[in-house]
A and B are shown apart, each in its own frame.
Chain A
Amino acid sequence: MMDTLLLLALNGLIWGLIIALIALGLSIIFGLLDIINVAHGDFFMIGTVLTWFILDATGLFWPAFIFVPVIGFVLGAVIQRGIIQPIHNAAALSIVATFGLSLILQEAVRMTFGATPRRILPPIQGTVQLFSIEYDIYRIFAAALSIAALTAFFLFLQYTKIGTWMRAVRHDRETAIAMGIPAQKIFIFTFGIGFALAAFGGIVAAPITTVDFRGGVDLLPFCFMAVIIGGLGNLLGTAAAAILLALFEGIIQSFTDPTIARICSLVLMSAVLMLRPQGLFKGLAK
């Protein structure tokens, strides 16, 4: 019993770190561009599928870490410039547009990759003794990678010029533009980074889950939960909420089945929405 609890809690924690990457992308896109990106789960899915293609073509897993985020960034930038920018501030329309985008991405993958889910073998195999259980080395590696990427992203946001611009545009768009910050370019960049983060999450997660054109569909509600519970636009809160939520689901799963666990976190999310719509961590973090 303790072993299953530990195993599922660890799985949840690591899954939460990956979700945090994806939810961060969703959150910066929401915070800066003020649109609800319904296609964000599919950005993650594109990451897993690209990883599979690279593995298939070269026989190697590692090149994915270079190519996939770059491809993701370019795709994101193109999407923002080509689709999102022309609609600009109409939030309802942007939901329809990203819903259409989600259909296009899924269908394009189904045409090229096929409808059958596939598995990728972890590039690092073997297990390690962790307390009382044997645990996958790759999962620990995945956790380390996610933490590194999260840290890198927050450092980027805090200490680079573009990062500072992004925070400035989010804080007060008009003033930022008046101060000479190229807001349009920042929007394109933000969407690209959002896509790249989700795609990076896709690479890390590919050996843990299955590669499937519907892989983003189940993930999207979870990312939204993290963004809401963490507080819309609150990046640290989002990351923390993703990790806590996945851990919470993992622990509940050790007592009952995954569907019930999912229902519990959805109920938790509605409670947060009703009682603290600014998110759980309002006042704790900026």
Chain B
Amino acid sequence: MTRPAIEKCLLIGLGTFLIATPWIVPVMANKFWVSVIAEILIWSIFAASVNLLFGYVGLLSFGQALFFGFGMYGVGIGIDQLHLSFWSAFAFGVGAATVMALITGILAVRLTWHYFAIITIVFSLIFYFLAVRMKSLTGGDDGINFSLPPVFSFGTTRYSLTDQTFQYFFILTIFALCFYLMHLVTRSSLGRAFLAIRENDLRAALIGLNVYALRLTAFVMAGFLAGISGALFAFFGRYASASYMFYHVSGDGVVWAIVGGAGTLFGPVVGTTLFIFIREVVSTHWEHHSLIVGVMAILVVMLAPSGLVGLWKKGLSRIGRRDASIELNPKAKLRSQP
């Protein structure tokens, strides 16, 4: 079997499992794991936003928690104080995150490399401290709790996220849409242009790509993804808190994306799944689960620098003799400026 065939089978298997989760998992294990899987799906979108910047454009952002927080607070404040409906609160959260990404991005993408990593931390810290300070609006570190409005209502029947199964499928749908969108982007000429910048920004500029505009585009898209995950997490927890804007949350996203495999579509999902799974399994028995997370992060970086998905590709290409670096080859098809 060739690598694409094996991967297609895996993808179909994963899809089937995810669709059947609300019925299989309570039988196999415990109902609790359904919500763990829902949480993994949400955080995977967050890790994907780090990956879009680092894996495809070569910008390491340590500040994605800022946009996660904006998505979260957009929903929280939208429902709690502006009394918006479900969909307008959702749009409000994601919109706030995207606009914020545009504003900070205009400044941040002028810098690269170390400077970019540091300015993203700085921006997220500024808003973290502001959120801690503006207690009346944000609730500070304690956060705000709110109750959920219904998602759809037809006459008397209402669908609300308080129904566990409905909530799961809602999250799964958004997750699938986000990753389909990522898939489309990475296959498009825009995605190719991103890769060209990652490999060599000077050369990309010389062949006529507008490096600044492309980096900004990627930054806004990543902010949009982080905003979606933040908004979903707010709905999921019925809660928004400043502590989710701290740089440790961004750091988690970076670790998940790189351990899973930066520059691959499903790397962030693998990394997020691994770490959240470990956290949930270990934390019930042993409170020091961060120790394992730290050791795992170091081991993966030392032994499999291209991440778990990178390791998998290398392993399979040895068997199937397929070129594992098709997606990573920037020379493939670089047409014109998008």
Contact = CB atoms under 8 A, between A and B. Distances in A.
Interface of A: 30, 36, 38, 83, 86-87, 90-93, 95-97, 99-104, 106-108, 110-111, 217, 221, 224-225, 228, 232, 257, 259-260, 262-263, 266-267, 269-270, 273-274, 277
B119 A273 contact: yes
Chain B interface residue number, banded: 35 or more
Contacts of A111: 288, 291
Nearest to B298: A100
Given A87-B301, A259-B133, A104 B114 contact: no
Nearest to A83: B298
Interface string B107-128: 1001101110111011101100
Contacts of B46: none
B60 interface: yes
B294 A102 contact: yes
Contacts of B258: 92-93, 96
B295 interface: yes
B291 A36 contact: no
B129 A266 contact: yes
A263 B60 CA distance: 23
Majority SS at the chain A contact face: helix
Contacts of B293: 100, 103
Interface of B: 54, 60, 62, 107, 110-111, 113-115, 117-119, 121-123, 125-126, 129-130, 132-133, 247-248, 251, 254-255, 258-259, 262, 288, 290-291, 293-298, 301-302, 305
A92 B129 CA distance: 26
Nearest to A263: B129
Nearest to A90: B305
Contacts of A97: 297-298, 301-302
Contact of B117 (A36, A87, A217, A266): A36
Majority SS at the chain B contact face: helix
B291 A108 contact: yes
A238 to B, nearest CB: 14
Given A108-B291, A266-B125, A95 B133 contact: no
Nearest to B130: A263
10 nearest A-B pairs in the assembled complex, by CB-CB distance: A100-B297, A103-B294, A104-B294, A100-B294, A107-B291, A100-B298, A107-B290, A103-B290, A93-B301, A266-B126
Contact of B251 (A38, A87, A257, A259): A38
Given A83-B298, A92-B258, A96-B301, A103 B291 contact: yes
Contacts of A217: 248
6 contacts: A36-B114, A91-B114, A104-B295, A259-B129, A274-B110, A274-B119
A38 B302 CA distance: 17
A136 B213 CA distance: 55
Contacts of B298: 83, 97, 100-101, 104
